[in-house]
Structure 1
């Protein structure tokens, strides 16, 4: 989880690796494709964009604003998705995809 948090913070920090005009919707995709592992030993990085954020319930811990999410909100979302995935016996990215598609989540 700390690696995911550090990656998020690095992309937000102009002194480290921030890319102008590219926010969480872009870099959470980069972190997802670079860091997703199906070993189940760590919270998995997932994509957080305006579509997903707009469909997250309050208990997921992400405020409804577009593009200004903080690392603690992203981590809360990852933890929430991991819990939902475990309850449904699916991978965490299946939870993210269900949100993106507007599908209902069981559990």
Structure 2
């Protein structure tokens, strides 16, 4: 379990990237490959920049713009594509397996994604929003869309929120938190209660950083997340 009383590590405090750097944080995406794989399975086409360009540097700001759209089933598919492509990056491991399973569970996935999107924009607890996409045992309710990608969908589903309360979590972050607050961290499966502890911890660390005299500004919780991701 995560120690929610752990203090903000000094190395994280001194490596805060700033909100602009968070929004500009991007990954290389082969949009042409995504379009071809979606077409093979008869899945809805991409819209936006991933439809018009072949090689894209997809930033967090770009995905947040999808999260700011009207919460419809059609847009939920786009948010799924964008958040998943941002999470998978240029190598897109096992993309065919992921899309095969997504296509075979299309109707169920649509309902789950819209429900999760609505929860992310509400005042629901992090564990409740996470539970829509993840079981009590930490398994993805949409096959091949596991807990790490569920957290990314929820994170971007908030849109360009001033202070995100649902945060991205992956194996690198879990490993990098082990020495400070999560000594028994697992790197691939997280149950809803642990995800809520994680979100609470990073929110508290953002508040702590905001009050530090060396910072003198309001720190977003995703700045903490990015600093942890980049931790050596």
Same fold (TM over 0.5): yes
Q: 1: distance between equivalents of 2:183 and 2:165?
A: 17
Q: Provide the alpha-carbon RMSD of the alignment.
A: 2.3
- Aligned pair partner of 2:145 in 22, 37, 50: 22
Unmatched segments (≥5 aa) in structure 2: 1-122, 211-218
Q: Is 1:33 matched up with 2:162? A: no
Residues 5 and 55 (structure 1), Cα distance of their counterparts in 2 relative to 1, 3 Å cut: same
Contact 2:148-2:168 at 8 Å conserved across structures: yes
- Aligned pair partner of 2:188 in 48, 51, 67: 67
Contact 1:52-1:100 at 8 Å conserved across structures: yes
Q: 2: distance between equivalents of 1:24 and 1:63?
A: 17
What's 1:46 paired with? 167
Q: 1: distance between equivalents of 2:158 and 2:184?
A: 24
The alignment of Structure 1 onto Structure 2 pairs a total of residues equal to: 97
Taking CA–CA contacts closer than 8 Å with sequence separation of 6 or more, which of the two structures ends up with the larger relative contact order? 2
What's 2:200 paired with? 79
The structure whose residues are more often strand, as a share, is: 2
Based on CA coordinates, which of the two structures has the bigger radius of gyration? 2
Deviation at 1:60, TM superposition (A): 3.8
Residues 79 and 61 (structure 1), Cα distance of their counterparts in 2 relative to 1, 3 Å cut: farther
Unmatched segments (≥5 aa) in structure 1: none
Residues 77 and 30 (structure 1), Cα distance of their counterparts in 2 relative to 1, 3 Å cut: same
Which consecutive aligned stretches of 4+ in structure 1 deviate over 6 angstroms post-superposition? none
